[in-house]
Amino acid sequence: MLDEKLLSINQVTVLRQWSLPETIEGLARHGLSAISVWREKLHETGVDEAARMLDDHAMTVTGLCFAGMITSPDAAEAEKARDDVRRALDEAAAIKAGCLVFVAGGVDPRDKDLASTRARARDGVAALVPHARAAGVRIALEPLHPMICANRSVISSVGIANDWCDAIDAEDVLGIAVDTYAVWWDPHLEAEIGRAGKRICAFHINDWLADTRDLRLDRGMMGDGVIDIPRIRRWVEAAGYRGFNEVEIFSERNWWKRDPVEVVDTCIERYRNFV
Ligand code: ZN
């Protein structure tokens, strides 16, 4: 059964319309009490001010999005990227985020060896574990669609995320974010979600438009595309996940152009009927 209280909205869904304070106030006016925070918007407002506002509105912060991009074959560059993730972990702690969403990074043209890129990034995540533990924040490995393996993430499936979790062995601070847009195509999805079990610390919902025009910025509202979202939600719940269902829609052609009040209204209506 879908729990109506478990709706969270990732602020990227109204990225172009609202600042972080406006998003917090806008969601509160809609009677919503959970948000996922976009990092650039957090910096715009300032971490302390954002933390105060989130507290004042009693908002549950389901995640901070995102940090990562640590796949560089250059050791100094990779260390600099990991330092940025450490800063993001501290920010996530300051706003009491449920997790830091981690996007691994793509394949560097200087090193076309995908296997070694994955191994290097996995070791990079392992190096972040002590900081995550000290900050008390879970790193949520987010698999992204294989079509963006070159530029966004070499974690292309829940299976790969599970393999990294097995290898790193830090179950207390390492988890997985399951995003319907990124994983719906995978024939092993049900089994890998089952294998992930308690590792699942975020569930992102949105739809894949049949006529998609952009692999990143043309996500669909739930119900407008081809993903069987309730089926994937049931798998995630069967694996033991009891957290929020977070609407995360990047939409250059449609939702970023609309009145944000209408966008949030639509999220609520579609959540009830298509999730
Ligand atoms: Zn996501």
Q: In this predicted model, what pLDDT tens digit does every residue of 53-78 receive, in sequence order? A: 999 999 999 999 999 999 999 999 99
Burial status of residue 3 (CB atoms within 10 A of its CB: 0-12, 13-18, 19 or more): exposed
Whether residue 1 has pLDDT greater than 80: no
SS3 210: coil
**Torsional sign, CA 67, 71, 73, 75:** positive
pTM of full prediction above 0.75: yes
Ligand 1 centroid from CA 29, angstroms = 24
Contacts of 231 (CB under 8 A, 6+ apart): none
For residues 245 and 270, give the distance between their C-alpha atoms in angstroms, rounded to a whole number: 12
Ligand 1 centroid from CA 207, angstroms = 11
Ligand 1 centroid from CA 109, angstroms = 25
> Rounded to an integer, what is the distance from CA 89 to the centroid of its chain?
14
Alpha helices in the chain (DSSP H): 20-29, 39-45, 47-56, 75-94, 114-135, 158-168, 180-183, 189-196, 229-238, 260-274
Give the mean pLDDT of the chain.
97
Ligand 1 centroid from CA 205, angstroms = 8
- How much is the pLDDT for 202? 98
Ligand 1 centroid from CA 232, angstroms = 14
Mean pLDDT (whole number) for 198-202: 98
DSSP label of 251:
B
DSSP label of 255:
G
CA-wise closest residue to 208 among 219, 197, 194? 219
- How much is the pLDDT for 3? 87
With beta carbons less than 8 A apart as the criterion, state whether 247 and 8 touch: yes
pLDDT above 90 coverage of the chain, percent: 97
- How much is the pLDDT for 2? 84
Ligand 1 centroid from CA 161, angstroms = 14
Ligand 1 centroid from CA 83, angstroms = 22
Ligand 1 centroid from CA 78, angstroms = 23
**Which DSSP string corresponds to 144-197?**
--GGGTTTTBS--SHHHHHHHHHHH--TTTEEEEEEHHHHTT-TTHHHHHHHHG
Ligand 1 centroid from CA 38, angstroms = 11
Please report which confidence band the pLDDT of residue 4 belongs to, taking 50, 70 and 90 as the band edges.
confident
Ligand 1 centroid from CA 188, angstroms = 19
Length of the chain in terms of residues written: 275
CA-wise closest residue to 163 among 186, 185, 196, 138? 196
Ligand 1 centroid from CA 115, angstroms = 24
Ligand 1 centroid from CA 10, angstroms = 9
Mean pLDDT (whole number) for 145-154: 96
156-197 pLDDT tens trace? 999 999 999 999 999 999 999 999 999 999 999 999 999 999
Contacts of 27 (CB under 8 A, 6+ apart): 9, 33, 34, 35, 59, 264
The token pair at 124 is: 């990079």
Ligand 1 centroid from CA 85, angstroms = 17
92-141 pLDDT tens trace? 999 999 999 999 999 999 989 999 999 999 999 999 999 999 999 999 99
